[in-house]
Structure 1
Amino acid sequence: MVNVVFEVTDYFAEGPLAEYAAGITVMNWLVVGFKALGAAVALLSVVNIPKLHLPALMTVLLWGAFATLGLYALGSVTQALGMISGFAGNAGQINLKGVGYVFMFLLAAIGYGFLAVSYSRRHYTRRGYAILGVVGAPVVLSLILIAVPMLLFTLGLIPAY
């Protein structure tokens, strides 16, 4: 919802990021798409719709969501520890809003972990699908988050600096 609100209100149209507004819009809608996919995967993992019963794909997607959210949360906690230790930034930059944000991602990762384990057990899927999701999803997402900004730069939607 936050990303949609950013776009509906033109949040980035003015201010220090105004020249990046077009690129941020593309990235915001990409994030909305990923979040919608994640919600659909979560819902489809708990309902019984025979036409949409694809255990291998669902296993890869559930474990991929778990791993991606888990890595993101782990990275955020590592960043906070770096700030607390004075290695990167300072502890004064950590606030309740930031802690809540990280906590939300930790809860989401735990939730997808439960869904992934439960789905894998209910459908007796191969461990290889889980491994593919855990390894593949963060790699694919990383490649997307590198390729899309490069494309936006090439198309002139974000500045060179």
Structure 2
Amino acid sequence: MVNIVFEFSDHFSDGRYADHASAFTVMNWLVTILKAIGAVVALLSIARPSRHIRPSAITVVIWGAFATLTVYALGSVAQAIGMAAGLTGSVDDIDLAGIAYVMFFLLAAGGFGVLAVSYSRRHRMPARLAVLGVLGAPLLLGLVLVVVPALLTAVGLMPSE
């Protein structure tokens, strides 16, 4: 919902991110789509089994969602530790909103972890499917955090700073 509010309120159209507004629009919609997929997968993991979606597919994706959120949240924690230690950025950049943001993602990761374990046990899924989902997390994060911004820069939507 936050990403949609950002879009309809033109949150990034002025201020220090104004030069990045078009890129933020692309990223906001990409993240919105990923969050919607995550919500659907979470619902599918607690719903009655579907004749149209294989439990193995849900297992891979629910473990992937768990791992993606976990890696992202732990990366944010590591960044905050680096800032607090003076290795990168400034400790002054750590504020209540940033802490709440990281805590939200840690909570979401924990929730998806519960769903992933529960679903795998209920449907007696082999561990290799969980491993496959977990291995997909760095690929998805790399796509969202590295590849897409690089493409946005290449097409001129994001300034190369």
Structure-2-length-normalised TM-score:
0.91
Instruction: Work out whether residues 66 and 112 of structure 2, in 8 Å CA contact, stay in contact via their aligned partners in 1.
Output: yes
Sort the Cα spacing of 1:95 and 1:5 in 2 relative to 1 into closer, same or farther, 3 A. same
Instruction: Work out whether residues 19 and 159 of structure 1, in 8 Å CA contact, stay in contact via their aligned partners in 2.
Output: yes
Aligned identity (percent) is 54
2:10 corresponds to which residue?
10
1:29 corresponds to which residue?
29
1:145 corresponds to which residue?
145
Q: Report the RMSD for the aligned CA atoms in angstroms.
A: 1.6
CA distance in 1, matches of 2:85, 2:46: 42
- The CA deviation at 1:133 is 0.6
1:46 corresponds to which residue?
46
Secondary structure in 2 matching 1:69? helix
1:132 corresponds to which residue?
132
Per-residue CA deviation, residues 105-137 of structure 1 (Å, 9 max, x unaligned), is 111011000000000001111111100111112
Sort the Cα spacing of 1:154 and 1:89 in 2 relative to 1 into closer, same or farther, 3 A. closer
Which amino acid is the alignment partner of residue 85 of structure 2? S
- The CA deviation at 1:19 is 2.0
Could you list the runs of 5+ residues in structure 2 that have no partner in the other structure? none
Listed as ranges, the matches of 1:13-92 within 5 Å are 13-92=13-92
Secondary structure in 2 matching 1:160? coil
Q: Which runs of 4+ in 1 moved over 6 A?
A: none
Instruction: Work out whether residues 80 and 94 of structure 1, in 8 Å CA contact, stay in contact via their aligned partners in 2.
Output: yes
Equivalenced residues, count: 161
Sort the Cα spacing of 1:81 and 1:160 in 2 relative to 1 into closer, same or farther, 3 A. closer
Instruction: Work out whether residues 68 and 140 of structure 2, in 8 Å CA contact, stay in contact via their aligned partners in 1.
Output: no
Instruction: Work out whether residues 64 and 138 of structure 1, in 8 Å CA contact, stay in contact via their aligned partners in 2.
Output: no
Instruction: Work out whether residues 4 and 28 of structure 1, in 8 Å CA contact, stay in contact via their aligned partners in 2.
Output: yes
- The CA deviation at 1:79 is 1.7
2:108 corresponds to which residue?
108
Instruction: Work out whether residues 71 and 137 of structure 2, in 8 Å CA contact, stay in contact via their aligned partners in 1.
Output: no
- The CA deviation at 1:49 is 4.5
